[in-house]
Amino acid sequence: MIVLLTDYGLSGPYVGQLHAVIKQRTRDAGIIDLCHCLPEFNVRSAAYLLPAFTQGLPVGAVVVCVVDPGVGSDRQHALVEANGCYYIGPDNGLFDVLIQRVQDAVKYHFQWPDPASNTFHGRDVYAPVACMVHEAGNRSEIDCQPVKTSSFQFAPDLDEITYIDEFGNAMTGQRLLAETKIASLSVANQALQYATKFSDVAEGECFWYENAYGLVEIAANRSSAAAVLGLKVGDPVNIRSQAALC
């Protein structure tokens, strides 16, 4: 399958043009529109959402991930192999968190020889490269060179709102690891209780929990936590661990 993850939105022609390019180049690829509502221009949020949203993909899946406010600049094109899958997009920090969370990740830079617009590399570069990887079953058809990844723009975890879904649930970039014992969590100057599921709290009450991606998320039972608490992407979340209290 070829998986699409972008900030393009669904109201314009951009997602449809990705589909058209893919279908022209490989008719047997299953196309998954995983998400086209990543926070616009927000590479940092996308870097944390990418490994969360793509976990559990089958081996061989090819992911086109594009949040690229610097499109047409001198930033590099990247191909990342991780967990048996291939991730293709701009090397602007988008793959930093994925690489740090996956032990076997390798990043490559590649040059694209064909003509491409200055402003739509998703269609003109990344979708065609995804088709080439899909057809070959590997990166053998791509002229790419491995890149050392000793320094990163973004840390492995982030105590910040990275995404707000249709229900008003606010996802953070912080994993709830086995060794992490959270003693308290507050956001928008309000302390929230922990619950394992929505029905554990009263209707309309806000709480925090571990979501289906293993991330700390703020929610409300049958209501919008974002509306109740006035949350937006980029808001800090104050998480204090038990170790910090010792």
Query: Over the stretch 28-46, which tens digit does the pLDDT of each residue have?
Result: 899 999 999 999 999 999 9
pLDDT for position 243 = 59
Q: What is the pLDDT of residue 151?
A: 87
Q: What is the pLDDT of residues 144-203, one digit of tens each?
A: 999 987 789 999 999 999 999 999 999 999 998 766 678 899 999 999 999 999 999 999
Q: State the average pLDDT over residues 49-73.
A: 96
* pTM higher than the cut 0.85: yes
Long-range interactions of 205-214: CB distance < 8 A, separation 24+: 210/176, 211/169, 211/171, 213/52, 213/53, 213/55, 213/171, 214/52, 214/55, 214/175, 214/176
Residue intervals of the chain classified under CATH 3.40.50.10790 are 2-147
Q: Where in the chain is CATH 2.40.30.90? A: 158-245
Give dist(CA 154, CA 96) in Å, integer: 6
What is the spatial distance between Cα 34 and Cα 197, in angstroms, rounded to a whole number?
A: 24
pLDDT at 3 over 70: yes
Look at residue 183 in the predicted model and tell me its pLDDT. Answer: 83
How far is residue 196's CA from residue 201's CA, in Å, rounded to a whole number?
Answer: 9
Q: Is residue 241's pLDDT more than 90?
A: no
Which whole number is the average pLDDT over 96-105?
Answer: 94
Mean pLDDT within 99-125: 95
Is it the case that residue 120 has pLDDT exceeding 70? yes
Whether pLDDT at 244 is above 70: no
More confident residue, 64 or 245: 64
Select the more confidently predicted residue: 178 or 234.
234
What is the C-alpha separation between 232 and 80, in angstroms, rounded?
30
- CATH, range 158-245: 2.40.30.90
The whole-number pLDDT of residue 156 equals 96
Mean per-residue pLDDT for 219-225? 98
**Position 104 pLDDT exceeds 80:** yes
Contacts (Cβ under 8 Å, ≥6 apart) of 113: none
- Residue 245: is its pLDDT beyond 60? no
- Note the CATH architecture for domain 2-147: 3-Layer(aba) Sandwich (3.40)
